[in-house]
Amino acid sequence: MLNINSLEQSIKNSLEGAFKDALMSTFDAVKNGDEVSPSDLAGKFSKSAGKYAHDIASAIDEYIRSAQITINAGTSLVGLGLASPSGPVTGSLTLAAPAVLQNSIS
């Protein structure tokens, strides 16, 4: 089962860092006496915040890769597209024990 709390915490940390750095970059521009327009400040803010896009994307990727699918015993799987050297395979497969499909995302 996916743990939303770890994803939420990772994104929260990235956003907090992004917004803090973005605000500081705009404050620094004003403090240094630079001649900046509101558009320039907005550009500095968004460029600084954009540096954290990779962190957020990585957190989401890690979250998705942690997915685990459990198939319970007694579940019938139909239409799996199985192949055999002696010809096509038809019918269904019933699991005798629970199975876990994991780390199949590449």
Average pLDDT, integer, range 2-23: 87
Average pLDDT, integer, range 54-72: 82
Instruction: Compute how many other C-beta atoms are within 10 angstroms of the C-beta atom of residue 33.
Output: 7
Sign of the alpha-carbon dihedral angle for 26, 41, 57, 9: positive
Domain spans of the chain, in order of start:
1-66, 68-106
Average pLDDT, integer, range 7-28: 88
Q: What is the pLDDT of residue 64?
A: 86
* φ and ψ of 89, to 5 deg: -110, 130
What separation in angstroms does the CA of 7 have from each of 15, 50, 59?
Answer: 12, 19, 6
**How many residues comprise the chain?**
106
Tell me the pLDDT of the chain averaged across its residues: 77
Q: What is the pLDDT of residue 12?
A: 92
Name the more confident of 102 and 28. 28
